[in-house]
Amino acid sequence: MNPTSPKTFPVSWEELHRTAKALAWRLVGLKEWKGIVAVTRGGLVPAAMIARKLNVRLIDIFCVSSYDVISTGEGQSGKATILKTTIAGDGEGWLIVDDLVDTGNTAKAVRELLPKAHFATIYAKPAGRPLVDTFVTEVSQDTWIYFPWDIEPQYVQPIAEMNRK
């Protein structure tokens, strides 16, 4: 997915919080979690929000790199590189949290090492959707999601001014 796609989905902090809360409601009765594994970097903030909602205090990280916007200009680089994981075993009883499942490259890498963990994301695209157990919002494959940590407020011309050009 190209970050310059005309189909964009900007997510505000308030919307992210509301959607993370909805995800927590879907997860609360499933089981008692040993802990949460946040998939870096995008899953860090949602994992913190969900940990608070589920009252889970043990949070670990699974560091994966699959996006390479700067060097490729294309979005995902095509392969997931595992940078760090500390969870031993097959993931039984653990909750994996990420912001988004896109092509599924990251999810596949995480699933290989933690096949029995429950994988939850806030957003899911069709190509990656089968790899997660729980999600809240589905968006089209050709939509680029702008998370609040990726954007800054900036001046935007009034529509009337843009229309005059």
Of 60, 68, 90, 102, which is the active-site residue? 102
Tokens standing for 60? 């670990």
Asked about 99 being catalytic, the answer comes back as yes
**Residues facing residue 97 across a β-bridge:** 38, 120
Asked about 142 being catalytic, the answer comes back as no
Of 60, 99, 133, 142, which is the active-site residue? 99
DSSP 99: E
Q: What is the CA radius of gyration of the chain?
A: 17
Q: How far apart are CA 135 and CA 151, in angstroms?
A: 23
Q: How far apart are CA 4 and CA 90, in angstroms?
A: 38
Asked about 150 being catalytic, the answer comes back as no
Q: How far apart are CA 16 and CA 22, in angstroms?
A: 10
Of 60, 68, 98, 133, which is the active-site residue? 98
Annotated catalytic residues are 98-99, 102
